[in-house]
Amino acid sequence: MTVSLLQLLSSLKEASRSELAEAIENYKLQLAKYHKVLVNEGKSDRDEVTEVVMMEHKTKLDKYVQDKNVDGITEVLLSFRVNALQIAPELRKNLVYELIRNDVFKIEDTEKFDFLLGMLDNPNPQLRYAIIALVSIVSSTLRGVEYLIFGNNMVVVQRVIKVLSS
């Protein structure tokens, strides 16, 4: 953008009024975009929505697990995955941290892996692969890996390998 401005200033002598007006307008647009990037750096348009959606999803997930509604569980897990894939890559880490903070797999709450292992052991292949996709997203950060191996227990990793190899 700065280079563009310098080129514009150097060619000012040779430019016609319309060319000059067009160049100035382009520069204004570039400057506005750059300003927007700086102002919004590190922010997400969906931050507030993400927390609300996270709580709704966790509530639905808990209810579907209690009701043994495999299709509902799968739907919620896939929705978590879609949210993770729709969010900007640089903000995905925040989503993973939000999943951990909400203890979506109930690992820290119960200090066990029963909730997660129950889904991995379910005979429904759609459910198993939906949970593996979410485990993959959570494990994309160091904090996520620490969450999944709570207490240095590798049972989730072993079970994921078992499911993928069967």
What confidence tens digit (pLDDT) does each residue in 75-115 have?
999 998 988 888 887 788 888 999 999 999 999 988 999 99
Contact 27, 8 (CB under 8 A): yes
pLDDT score at 85: 85
Q: Token match 């000012």: residue?
A: 12
Are 32 and 103 in a shared domain? Answer: no
Examine the pLDDT at 142 and tell me if it is beyond 50. Answer: yes
Q: What percent of the chain has pLDDT over 70?
A: 76
Residue 19: give the domain boundaries.
2-40
CB 151 within 8 A of CB 108: no
Both 95 and 131 in one domain: the answer is yes
14-24 in b/e form (b: 16+ CB < 10 A) is eeeeeeeeebe
139 close to 148: Cβ distance less than 8 angstroms: yes
Whether residue 15 is found in the same domain as residue 87 = no
Query: Does 121 lie in the same domain as 88?
Result: yes
Distance, in Å, from the CA atom of 163 to the CA atom of 153, rounded to the nearest integer, reads 18
Distances (CA, A) of 148 to 3, 66, 68: 48, 22, 23
Q: Give the dihedral sign, CA 139/133/103/109.
A: negative
* DSSP class of 103: T
Q: Kindly report which listed range (44-53, 60-69, 85-94) carries the lowest average pLDDT score.
A: 44-53
Kindly state whether residues 34 and 68 are assigned to the same domain: no
Measured between alpha carbons, how far is residue 59 from residues 16, 54, 55, 106, 115 in Å? 64, 9, 6, 12, 14
**Domain count for the chain:** 2
141 and 112 part of one domain: yes
As a whole number, mean pLDDT of residues 3-31 equals 67
Residues 99 and 157 in one domain: yes
